[in-house]
Amino acid sequence: MSRLLVMLAVVAGCGQVEKRTSCLDRPGTVFCDDFEAATLAAWSELEGAPIRQTSVVHAGGGALAVASTSAAQSAVGVQLAPITTGSLNLRAWMRFPALPPLAKVNLLSIDGVGSDSIIVLADQDELRVYSTAGAAVTVTTGVDVPRERWFCLELHADLAATDGALRLDLDGAQIGGQPGIATVGDAGYGGISAGALFVDPDQDPLTFYIDDVALSTRPVGCQ
């Protein structure tokens, strides 16, 4: 084989390695969407006007744009088979503009079959976790939402009626957590949501972006 053909073969092979594989191929994956499809058909629930766009993306060719004003919600959601034991790990990449300040915006949630939910939110710009399972718990972090860059959030929930745990990671490093708490009721969790799930009435108009959402029974990480 000539040197030119060898070089072409190597380049072709490299292209195959770099091609994105389906997020569903990861072990433990319950649901994922990297927004490469032209529609939001992976999600069974749409509220407000979330849009799949191609201008601002973390990886690949598409990402979700979420625009909200005042108390108007804009989000995607999906219903899944109930999970009551083990671990749930919800990962998403997000990008926020420099302004406006974030009064209170719910960003991600693991949704209960009943009334339980575990929510990642921005409260006065600070990243927090709020769980309604058992006695309601708020996990504070002291870390503000990063601005004008893509960042990786991963919510870890060890499910238990009395001795569960919550942890929030930013770009792969833990920024907050709470062990020894109730994290699940009898009905378990049967869905996830992403976007502006709740917006404080005093919040100024806001547009931000979400990409590479995944829910897994194993830690997903930021790769």
Residue of 148 and 201 predicted with greater confidence:
148
Tell me the CA distances in angstroms from 35 to 12, 38, 56, 150, one per residue in order: 25, 7, 12, 15
Domain regions of the chain by residue span:
24-216
Hunting for tokens 């917006």 — which residue is that? Answer: 199
Provide the phi-psi class of 28: left if phi over 0, else alpha when psi is between -120 and 50, else beta: left
Q: Tell me how crowded residue 11 is: count the other CB atoms within 10 A of its CB.
A: 9
- pLDDT, mean of residues 196-221: 95
Stretch among 20-34, 70-84, 181-195 having the lowest mean pLDDT: 20-34
Model pTM score? 0.88
pLDDT of residue 1: 37
For 114-148, write each residue's pLDDT tens digit: 889 999 999 999 999 999 998 899 999 999 999 99
Q: According to CATH, what is the number of the domain 24-216?
A: 2.60.120.200
Integer Cα distance of 141 and 113 in angstroms: 27
For 164-192, write each residue's pLDDT tens digit: 999 999 999 999 999 999 999 778 999 99
- pLDDT, mean of residues 104-120: 94
Hunting for tokens 């300040």 — which residue is that? Answer: 101
Residue of 82 and 1 predicted with greater confidence:
82
Reply yes or no on whether the pLDDT at 35 is more than 90: yes
Reply yes or no on whether the pLDDT at 200 is more than 70: yes
Q: Tell me how crowded residue 149 is: count the other CB atoms within 10 A of its CB.
A: 9
Reply yes or no on whether the pLDDT at 157 is more than 90: yes
What is the average pLDDT score of the chain?
A: 89
Among 149, 148, 130, 147, which residue's Cα sits nearest to residue 139? Answer: 130
- pLDDT, mean of residues 187-198: 95
